[in-house]
Amino acid sequence: MKVLDAIDLRILKHLQSNAKLTNKEIAAAIGMTTTPVFERIKRLEEQGYIRSYVAILDKGKLGFALVAYCNVSLKQHTRSYLENFEKEIKAIPEVVECYHIAGMYDYLLKVTVKDMAAYQDFIVNHLANLENIGTVQSSFVMKEISENTALPL
């Protein structure tokens, strides 16, 4: 795998800020021609530096008014229980992020739902039905101060 150079990083910065930029627009912004920019982007995709291109949606406009962070502890920590939990949690659409963490809890979930009733439904009908759940501690977002998907390149 080729080491990223300054040009690769500049291309990635532009794509992080606006993935709809054309190769021509990126080339103009960094002072190159289109063909080498195209080739670099293709290489960055093939090597996995660029995993996908997505649209970031406005939660509020779509009616998702509640964001909760759930700390989850499992009762048992065998490989099969961990793998099973991770497989099952990926299938729950309300869970938009999941991290296996160190500390007092085993997992941190970011859950996005329409309201508190939908969150209660998530807890009762999804999370509580998973095998091996020990404890769940929830924190609710009152106000989003900063949300950024860009990496500090």
- Kindly report, residue by residue over 35-77, the tens digit of the pLDDT: 999 999 999 999 999 999 999 999 999 999 999 999 999 999 9
- For residue 69, which of 42, 117, 105, 39 has the smallest C-alpha distance? 105
Q: CATH says 6-46 is which class?
A: mainly alpha
User: What tens digit of pLDDT does each residue of 73-94 get?
Assistant: 999 999 999 999 999 999 999 9
| Total-model pTM | 0.89
Domain ranges of the chain: 6-46, 66-140
**Structure tokens belonging to residue 22:** 């054309």
CA-based torsion, 69, 73, 79, 80: positive or negative:
negative
Instruction: Decide if domain 66-140 falls under CATH 3.30.70.920.
Output: yes
